[in-house]
């Protein structure tokens, strides 16, 4: 609560990230009166986070391995600019223990947990063991890595098929395989270990019960690093594609008040077991019967943190900075409430009809929705060329209303007002999801997309009037574009998309 002797006020903080999360963190720092330093790769010179920051330092070429993952250059940039702390955001170096240790060794503050916490939580087997010791429910299975197929079969027969083989160092849906009978075990174990060794340089694989029709529930926690931990309730993130979340909400429609109390208490227990420092997320699987199991802990600010901010009113970036300044938690558990309902939609430059393949290019036009209950966390602007080197997430649209039904109604309105022209994107996917009965009644599971989404037939058909307008406008556009090129000899690259558009559209007015 109150300042201890070791507390201080940062005057300047470096943000070791890019895109919407770097912008979000800079916004939080600025509200606290703290100076901001952005880092950027050569291709990100014109990215929004650079334009938003007070100072910006180039840390290398476009590939992340040569820039955003170069811890030594980031630390050098902090020292050069006189920043006292580094906020890592999510992804990149955010859960890299050696980086956190190097930051502290350089006399700077890492806004996040200790390297030791990250080492425990970054490995599925070690975090599993730690949680079993702390009395947190984990999915039934092995505590140690398994190499012998006969042993794996014995475990599977004890806990019951189907089981999941899981790489201890895995993540993002990689290094996992479902086994439904003893006959499949030997081959599956060999393949999973091979994949794990190749992808994560660690072939440790363990066995756990495979939960059918699971829901993904996670709990936001804050810890002061001295054993004090509070939770900020749950988020449900069961709408996923390729094992990546696309829609998140808080509260979860799947929890009763009693179940919420138990799952949030288990999350606090988890974070206390490692004397957690900073903001973290404890992920659980919720089985259809209401049983829940610890999955893993993410030791960083999550992509979906805004839904928690909307329903609790807490600024998580500010809370992280206050903890890093040594000021402790600044909230008491009993002061925190869930108020209303929030939904988050991740805006990806990808084509849902083509297996969500990335589609990139210039943001030609952008009209963002406004009005009551709308928040947009964005890393793009009109005219921005989306680089090919990083994650295709462009922005996050967050919608809040008094209850879930009203939040869904508001989201339909807001998605309809959002115009992004340029790359193909997944806003129509979100509009589709909102219309699905399994989403509306909250019964959806992590299989929602595979069970309900048909890439060949998902968009509402264009009606005759819309089709005519689309075809007619495109034909007119082509006619005017050709006229424009005949009238003015091409200067430079006539095929630059912007030139076509401007010339063609300007000539399109037929009322002179």
- Nearest distance in Å: CB 491, another protein: 16
Nearer to another protein, 8 or 485 (CB): 485
Query: By CB under 8 A, which span of 116-124, 187-195, 220-228, 468-476 interacts with another protein?
Result: 468-476
Helix or strand (DSSP H, E) at 26: helix 19-31
Q: Which one, of 338, 309, 308, lies nearest residue 237 by Cα?
A: 308
Report the phi/psi class of residue 58: left, alpha or beta, with left for phi > 0 and alpha for psi in -120 to 50.
beta
Residues 65, 178, 198, 419: which binds another protein (CB under 8 A)?
Answer: 419
Residues 367, 403, 450, 488: which binds another protein (CB under 8 A)?
Answer: 367
Does residue 333 bind another protein (CB under 8 A)? Answer: no
- Tokens read off for 481: 């574009």
Nearer to another protein, 256 or 509 (CB): 509
Does residue 89 bind another protein (CB under 8 A)? Answer: no
Does residue 420 bind another protein (CB under 8 A)? Answer: yes
Q: Quote the CA–CA distance of 102 and 97 in Å, as a whole number.
A: 9
Q: Quote the CA–CA distance of 103 and 7 in Å, as a whole number.
A: 18
Does residue 370 bind another protein (CB under 8 A)? Answer: no
Does residue 487 bind another protein (CB under 8 A)? Answer: no
- Nearest distance in Å: CB 182, another protein: 34
Residues 143, 335, 402, 468: which binds another protein (CB under 8 A)?
Answer: 468
Q: Which distant-in-sequence residues (6+ apart) come within 8 Å of 232 by Cβ?
A: 219, 220, 221, 222, 308, 312, 314, 316, 336
Taking CA atoms, 380 is separated from 33, 117, 267, 386, in Å, by: 24, 34, 34, 8
Residues 4, 333, 403, 466: which binds another protein (CB under 8 A)?
Answer: 466
Q: Quote the CA–CA distance of 349 and 382 in Å, as a whole number.
A: 14
Residue 164 CA, chain-centre distance (Å), reads 24
> Which residue matches tokens 């869904």?
408
- Nearest distance in Å: CB 431, another protein: 9
Does residue 243 bind another protein (CB under 8 A)? Answer: no
Active site residues: 300
Size of the site for another protein (CB under 8 A): 61
Residues 360, 376, 434, 438: which binds another protein (CB under 8 A)?
Answer: 360
Burial of 396 (0-12, 13-18, 19+ CB in 10 A): buried
- Nearest distance in Å: CB 363, another protein: 11
Q: Which residues bind another protein (CB under 8 A)?
A: 349, 357-361, 364-365, 367, 382, 388-392, 415-425, 427-428, 459, 462, 465-479, 481-482, 495, 497-498, 500-502, 504-506, 508-512
């Amino acid at each position: 609560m109150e300042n201890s002797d070791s507390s201080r006020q940062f005057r300047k903080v470096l943000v070791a990230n890019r895109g919407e999360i770097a912008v979000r963190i800079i916004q939080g720092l600025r509200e606290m009166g703290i100076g901001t330093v952005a880092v950027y790769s050569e291709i990100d010179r014109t990215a929004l986070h650079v334009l938003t920051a007070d100072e910006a330092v180039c840390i290398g070429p476009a590939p992340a391995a040569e820039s955003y993952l170069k811890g030594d250059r980031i630390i050098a940039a902090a020292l050069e600019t006189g920043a006292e702390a580094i906020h890592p955001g999510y992804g990149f170096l955010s859960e890299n223990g050696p980086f956190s240790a190097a930051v502290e060794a350089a006399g700077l503050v890492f806004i996040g947990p200790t390297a030791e916490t990250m080492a425990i939580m970054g490995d599925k087997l070690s975090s599993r063991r730690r949680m079993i010791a702390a009395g947190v429910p984990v999915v039934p299975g092995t505590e140690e890595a398994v190499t012998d197929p006969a042993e794996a079969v014995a475990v599977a027969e004890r806990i019951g098929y189907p089981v999941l083989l899981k790489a201890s160092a895995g993540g993002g849906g990689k290094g996992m395989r479902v086994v439904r009978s003893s006959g499949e075990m030997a081959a599956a174990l060999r393949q999973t270990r091979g994949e794990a060794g190749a992808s994560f340089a660690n072939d440790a694989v363990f066995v756990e019960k495979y939960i059918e029709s699971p829901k993904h529930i996670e709990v936001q926690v804050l810890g002061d690093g001295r054993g004090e931990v509070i939770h900020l309730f749950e988020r449900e993130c069961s709408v996923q594609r390729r094992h990546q979340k696309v829609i998140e909400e808080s509260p979860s429609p799947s929890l009763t008040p009693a179940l919420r109390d138990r799952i949030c208490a288990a999350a606090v227990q988890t974070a206390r077991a490692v004397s957690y420092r900073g903001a973290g997320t404890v992920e659980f699987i919720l089985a259809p019967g209401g049983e829940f199991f610890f999955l893993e802990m993410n030791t960083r600010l999550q992509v979906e943190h805004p839904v928690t901010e909307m329903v609790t009113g807490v600024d998580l970036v500010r809370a992280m900075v206050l903890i890093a300044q040594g000021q402790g938690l600044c909230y008491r558990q009993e002061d925190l409430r869930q108020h209303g309902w929030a939904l988050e939609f991740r805006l990806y430059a990808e084509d849902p009809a083509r297996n969500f393949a990335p589609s990139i290019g210039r943001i030609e036009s952008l009209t963002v929705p406004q009005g009551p209950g709308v928040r947009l966390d964005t890393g793009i602007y009109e005219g921005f060329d989306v680089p090919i080197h990083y994650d295709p997430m462009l922005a996050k649209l967050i919608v809040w209303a008094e209850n879930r039904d009203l939040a869904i109604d508001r989201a339909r309105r807001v998605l309809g007002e959002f115009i992004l022209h340029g790359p193909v994107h997944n806003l129509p996917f979100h509009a589709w999801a909102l219309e699905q009965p399994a989403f509306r009644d909250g019964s959806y599971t992590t299989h929602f997309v595979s069970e309900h989404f048909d890439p060949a037939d998902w968009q509402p058909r264009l009606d005759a009037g819309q089709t005519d307008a689309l075809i007619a406008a495109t034909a007119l556009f082509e006619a005017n574009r050709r006229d424009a090129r005949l009238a003015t000899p091409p200067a430079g690259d006539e095929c630059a998309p912007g030139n076509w558009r401007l010339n063609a559209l300007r000539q399109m007015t037929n009322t002179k």
